[in-house]
Structure 1
Amino acid sequence: MLNKPIEEIIVQNGKEIGVKSEGQIARCKQLICDPSCVKDRVEKEGQVIRVICILSHLIKNTSDANSCQIIIPQNQVNRKSDIYVCMISFVHNVAARGKYTAIVSTTVETKEPEKEIRPALELLEPTERKFVSISDLLVPKDLGTESQIFISRTYDATHVFF
């Protein structure tokens, strides 16, 4: 049942036995889903800020690499979490010729998350466009072994590195 809305998760005797979508029931022994499907079974563990930047140049001091990954260690920027930068380019067919896409991400630690990623954004300057998003980091409340509802975590700040 990919790309279908979940109307209801059918639970009997504490165990998941099926999913109702568009009036149909798909019976199953286990449910594997992301947190958006079962908001009452997840909790917020924090937030992640992501900034997608469009560049017209390579990142300085990267040996003119068309792609690279940079980790800014937490202790170098007085943080609890590292800052991650991933840059890919037109060579990878993800941008127009002569353009580069960089993604900056980190775990939010303050009420001013955009200031937290400033060290990474300074590496990328000048940027043509920036798209900023802040999303909740959701985790399952339990392992799912009793209910047979197995829930993934939302993407953390390191997701572009795997």
Structure 2
Amino acid sequence: MNLTEVEFDENGKANGVTSKGETAKCKKVVCDPSYLSDKVHKVGKVSRAICIMSHPIPQTHDSHLAQTPKGKFIAFVTTEAETNQPEEDLKPVLGSVNEIFYDMYDRFEPCNDHEVDGCFISTSYDPTTHFEITVKDGVGMYSKITRKILDLSVDLSVASAAAEE
């Protein structure tokens, strides 16, 4: 979607989004920080690297994985960036690398009052590779939006029996 603008009423409450010259009316806006940069603040910087190597990663007990051809290793490294040169920071950890792909981006968190403006903004991706924090953020947003606790517990035997009927 090529979002142009979030629309607000005279009280500062979100009431629509405009894209390609058309406005869709709404009561709430749910988005990531890039859509409402004036309602977030920077909390850090993330550095990511994907590395193709011909040796195991140092200090991993020569761990081998079945996802790569014999003699090749892939390292996926993410961290809170402390400098603007992640390549230099990671060199001592990785050893020699055949190919490396870097990405660095700012991390943001919402600083708005969603009760006042109707904008529910997620946090940016953090450096974890398992998305635990992102899932917690999504569950928290669900609770804020619906004013209900998200219950992910399920009795699979009941769900399975219902599907068979």
TM-score over 0.5 (shorter chain):
yes
Deviations 1:2-58 (A, max 9, x none): xx1111111012110110111111111111101111112122112111111123455
Correspondence for 1:161 among 95, 115, 130: 130
One-letter identity of the residue aligned with 2:49:
V
CA-CA distance at 1:111 after TM superposition: 4.7
SS at match of 2:18: strand
Larger RCO (alpha carbons 8 Å, 6+ apart): 1
The residue that corresponds to 1:66 in the other structure is 65
SS at match of 2:125: coil
User: How many residues are matched?
Assistant: 128
Correspondence for 2:74 among 101, 106, 109: 101
Change (3 A) 1:59 1:11: same
Tell me if the contact between 2:57 and 2:94 (Cα under 8 Å) persists in the aligned partners.
Answer: no
TM value normalised by structure 2: 0.66
Task: Select between 52-61 and 22-31 the one with higher mean Cα deviation.
Answer: 52-61
One-letter identity of the residue aligned with 1:101:
I
Tell me if the contact between 2:107 and 2:124 (Cα under 8 Å) persists in the aligned partners.
Answer: yes
Task: Select between 51-60 and 7-16 the one with higher mean Cα deviation.
Answer: 51-60
Change (3 A) 1:139 1:133: same
**Which structure carries more helix by proportion?**
2
Unaligned stretches of 5+ in structure 1? Answer: 68-88, 91-96
SS at match of 1:138: strand
The residue that corresponds to 1:139 in the other structure is 109
Unaligned stretches of 5+ in structure 2? Answer: 132-165
**Which structure carries more strand by proportion?**
1
Counterparts of 1:149 and 1:100 in 2: how far apart (Å)? Answer: 43
**Quick check: which has more Rg, 1 or 2?**
2
Change (3 A) 1:120 1:144: farther
Say whether residues 1:10 and 2:10 are aligned partners.
no
The residue that corresponds to 1:82 in the other structure is none
TM value normalised by structure 1: 0.67
Correspondence for 1:151 among 104, 121, 134: 121
Tell me if the contact between 2:57 and 2:75 (Cα under 8 Å) persists in the aligned partners.
Answer: no
CA-CA distance at 1:113 after TM superposition: 3.3
Identity of aligned residues (%): 37
Change (3 A) 1:54 1:143: farther
Change (3 A) 1:117 1:63: closer
Tell me if the contact between 1:43 and 1:138 (Cα under 8 Å) persists in the aligned partners.
Answer: yes
